[in-house]
Structure formats: structure tokens, C-alpha cells
């Protein structure tokens, strides 16, 4: 069975959740920033902004191709099915970095990932709200891959040669794979979840099919990244309260200052 192959993205970013095979981070597309991850009770959390579009940034840390099965709120981001590691995903070339910006609608378009209220999330609107608030990636190594030396930054010519070689390499068909979100447990305080991922506007985002045979039927690595609104994460003690939002003080100053200079109007 064929897989979707993403285009290469050359911009650099620090990973929010680092694995042995892939790194996963969240990029706020409206602010242009990579959201920092806050570790808490063995999980990583990011704070999203309501109404902002975002992308799941994946980095292949190996010298061989990797199948990354992406789940958003327990839904496969490619097929729209309830996520399962035997569904379809994205194929990353050696050392490749790619941004997944939305729900895959066709080989030409995606619908934006947008931080929104839980009732307005795609998962809730399709009757699957239980796993809202978690993004999962199941990574699979390719069978019979040949590792290559890491390149600092691929040129356009090198990228074209690599894509051409990947498409011409023989590979038997294999069942598709999907995301880890369905396997992840609900985040603590899931009943207080404020943010979900909506089905935003469609935009041009081309992809192509490629063959991929997994090294094993079981994922080589599963990563989960949880998210919610800043206020919700602060109230649950996951991230610190911003310094500019301290509680009001009854006596902020010790003495009475002079008033502004009196001006007499004629």
C-alpha cells in the first residue's frame, strides 16, 4: 500500500518532544513561533492560543526513511478515522523535517489545524471528543533501508535526487499505519480541557504517494504531546503563572507620591 510523502522544509526549530527516531514540536503559524514544551508528571504540554493556526513539525533523526503516523485528538490526520497504528501516515526521508499543517483533504489540500473550543473541535463534531487535547506520533522504520550520512542542509538539487531515488527504490506494499493518540490515556483533568483542534480553512499543500514497508508491525517509537489553553495549564499547575499576571496587591507602595503638577486653566 502507498504512503504520503511530505515535502522538505528547510527552516530549523527546536523540538518540543525529542525521540530516538523522530522529534515532534508544535509551530504556531500565526505568531511564527515554536511553542515551548512544559514537562509535567512524565508528559510534555504546550500552551495554544484560541483561534491560532498551528502545524505539527516532525524531524526524522535517522539516516533511513521513516513512516510517521499522526494522530490529532485521537483522529488520524490523513484518513480522518479514529486513530490506529495500522492506518496511513507520512513518510519522511533521511534527516528530513516537515510541517503537517492540517487535516489531509486530498493530495492537493489540507484543512488548517486551528486551536478552538472543545465543542468546536473536529473530533467532538464527529462524535469522538474523548481524546481531545493530545497529539500522537507512531514512528516506523523501513525494512531493508540503507543508512546515509547526515547532511547539514540539503540543497534543492540534493533534495530532488533523494526524492527520485526514494520513488524508484523497490518496496513491497504494506498495510497503512496511523497515530498514537488513540493509545494515549486522557490527560489529567481532561474534564477541564479547554482547547481542541478545529477543521479550518482549506489551503494548498501538495503531497504524493510512495511505497513503504514497515520493519515491524509494531511502532518503533510512540510519542505523545498534550496541549491546552494557557489559563487551563496554569490552573492545573502544569506551567507557571506569567510574571505580568500576578495577583493584585492591597498595598503595592509604602508611601503616598506627589500628585501631578496642578495646572490652572483660564
Distance between CA atoms of residues 201 and 213, nearest Å: 33
- The phi, psi pair for 231, rounded to 5°, reads -60, -40
Q: How far apart are the C-alpha atoms of 121 and 184, rounded to whole Å?
A: 18
Query: Rounded to whole angstroms, how far apart are CA atoms 179 and 224?
Result: 10
Q: What is the pLDDT of residue 246?
A: 59
Query: One digit per residue, pLDDT tens: the chain, 266 residues?
Result: 444 544 333 333 345 788 999 999 999 999 999 999 999 999 999 999 999 999 999 999 999 999 999 999 999 999 999 999 999 999 999 999 999 999 999 999 999 999 999 999 999 999 999 999 999 999 999 997 666 666 554 444 444 444 444 444 443 333 333 333 333 334 444 448 999 999 999 999 999 999 999 999 999 999 999 999 999 999 999 988 766 555 666 766 666 777 776 555 55
Dihedral sign from CA coordinates of 145, 148, 154, 156 = negative
Instruction: Please tell me the distance from the alpha carbon of residue 172 to that of residue 60, in angstroms, as a whole number.
Output: 22
CA 130, 136, 137: angle at the middle one, nearest 5?
Answer: 150
User: From CA 187, how far away is CA 136, in angstroms rounded?
Assistant: 13
Which residues partner with 55 through β-bridges? 27
238 Cβ contact list (under 8 Å, min separation 6): 38, 40, 45
Name which of 58, 84, 188, 170 is nearest 133 in CA terms.
188
Cβ partners under 8 Å of residue 153, min gap 6: 10
Q: How far is it, in rounded angstroms, from Cα 16 to Cα 226?
A: 11
Pair 120, 196: CB distance under 8 Å? yes
Q: What is the pTM of this model?
A: 0.71
Q: Which residues have C-beta within 8 Å of that of residue 158, sequence separation ≥ 6?
A: 151
Locus of grid cell 500576578: 246
- What are the distances in angstroms from CA 205 to CA 101, 201, 212, 238? 8, 12, 21, 34
**Would you list the domain boundaries of the chain?**
2-245
Per-residue pLDDT at 192: 81
Amino acid at each position: 500500500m502507498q504512503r504520503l510523502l511530505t515535502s522538505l522544509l528547510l527552516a530549523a526549530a527546536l523540538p518540543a518532544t525529542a525521540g530516538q527516531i523522530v522529534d515532534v514540536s508544535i509551530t504556531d503559524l500565526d505568531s511564527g513561533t515554536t511553542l515551548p514544551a512544559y514537562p509535567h508528571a512524565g508528559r510534555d504540554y504546550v500552551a495554544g492560543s484560541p483561534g491560532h493556526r498551528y502545524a505539527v513539525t516532525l524531524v526524522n533523526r535517522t539516516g533511513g526513511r521513516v513512516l510517521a503516523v499522526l494522530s490529532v485528538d485521537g483522529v488520524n490526520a490523513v484518513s480522518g478515522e479514529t486513530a490506529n497504528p495500522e492506518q496511513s501516515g507520512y513518510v519522511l526521508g533521511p534527516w528530513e523535517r516537515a510541517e503537517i499543517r492540517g487535516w489531509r483533504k486530498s493530495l492537493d489540500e489540507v484543512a488548517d489545524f486551528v486551536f478552538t473550543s472543545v465543542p468546536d473541535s473536529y473530533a467532538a463534531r464527529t462524535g469522538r471528543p474523548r481524546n481531545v487535547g493530545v497529539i500522537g506520533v507512531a514512528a516506523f522504520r523501513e525494512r531493508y533501508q540503507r543508512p546515509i550520512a547526515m547532511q547539514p542542509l540539503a540543497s534543492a538539487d540534493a533534495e530532488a535526487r533523494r526524492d527520485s531515488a526514494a520513488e524508484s527504490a523497490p518496496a513491497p506494499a504494506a498495510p497503512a499505519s496511523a497515530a498514537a493518540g488513540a493509545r494515549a490515556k486522557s490527560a489529567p483533568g481532561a474534564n477541564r480541557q479547554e482547547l481542541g483542534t478545529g477543521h479550518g480553512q482549506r489551503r494548498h499543500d501538495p503531497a504524493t504517494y510512495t511505497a513503504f514497508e514497515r520493519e515491524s508491525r509494531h511502532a518503533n517509537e510512540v510519542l505523545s504531546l498534550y496541549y491546552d489553553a494557557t489559563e487551563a495549564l496554569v490552573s492545573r499547575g502544569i506551567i507557571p503563572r506569567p510574571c505580568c499576571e500576578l495577583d493584585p496587591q492591597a498595598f503595592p507602595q509604602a508611601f503616598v507620591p506627589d500628585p501631578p503638577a496642578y495646572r490652572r486653566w483660564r
